[in-house]
Amino acid sequence: MNSVEPLVWTFETASEAETENLGRDLADCLTPGVALLLSGDLGCGKSVLARGVLWGLGVADDCITSPTFTLVNPYDSGRLPAAHFDLYRLSAPEELELVGVEEYVDGRGVVIVEWPERGEGEFFGAVIRVNLEDLPGNPQGRRLVFSAVEPLSRECLHVFGEHNAGKGLRGGSGVSA
């Protein structure tokens, strides 16, 4: 048996700004080669979290645009190279090849993927999965569950979780394997 229990951290945010701030803090903990796979329903806050991560990496706000129609937007102005994917409109896996996915998963930078389920198989290895969901009864409330298995991504998540544990965000709790 070589299955490893994932490291999991859960946070709840009460506003868009709190989710952005979580993204900024996560950016500080990222190392080259890590992919953030952001899952959740339409409008749950994936792009908000992605924007926070890009800000945290040092990308200027006015450079950040939505990859909804381009599938991917690359950024070279931050602390690390970053590529932000949105696969919602991916119609066939071959489309990912056309946008040159390999050049972004080369281990030099950070990859952020919305709707990763639609490009399953392309993003693996040093992955931090983030599942976002609405909190019942609070239109501004979101629960974000971060998990990682592979050692590099696990270390990033460990640093992020420990750093944020004392920040007073509701629901922050860690389960280490």
Burial of residue 48, with CB atoms counted within 10 A of its CB: 0-12 exposed, 13-18 middle, 19 or more buried: buried
Q: Which residue is nearest to ligand ATP (CB)?
A: 45
DSSP conformational letter for 80: S
Position 65, amino acid: T
Provide the b/e sequence for 116-135 (b: ≥16 CB within 10 Å).
bebbeebbeebbbbbebebe
Q: CA-to-CA distance for 70 and 128, rounded, in angstroms?
A: 23
Q: CA-to-CA distance for 39 and 177, rounded, in angstroms?
A: 23
42 lies in the binding site for ligand ATP (CB under 6 A) = yes
Give the count of residues interacting with ligand ATP (CB under 6 A): 17
Q: CA-to-CA distance for 57 and 22, rounded, in angstroms?
A: 13
84 lies in the binding site for Mg ion (CB under 5 A) = no
44 lies in the binding site for ligand ATP (CB under 6 A) = yes
- Indicate the residue among 140 and 173 with the shorter CB distance to ligand ATP: 140
- Indicate the residue among 19 and 153 with the shorter CB distance to ligand ATP: 19
For the bound state, the minimum distance from the C-beta of residue 114 to Mg ion, rounded and expressed in Å, comes to: 5
Q: Which stretch binds ligand ATP (CB under 6 A): 11-19, 96-104, 152-160, 169-177?
A: 11-19
Binding residue for ligand ATP (CB under 6 A) from 47, 73, 147, 164?
47
118 lies in the binding site for Mg ion (CB under 5 A) = no
Interactions with ligand ATP, residue window 110-169 (CB under 6 A): 114, 140, 142
Instruction: Let me know: does 84 contact 49? Beta carbons within 8 Å.
Output: no
Site of interaction with ligand ATP (CB under 6 A): 13, 15-16, 18-19, 40, 42-48, 88, 114, 140, 142
Site of interaction with Mg ion (CB under 5 A): 46-47, 114
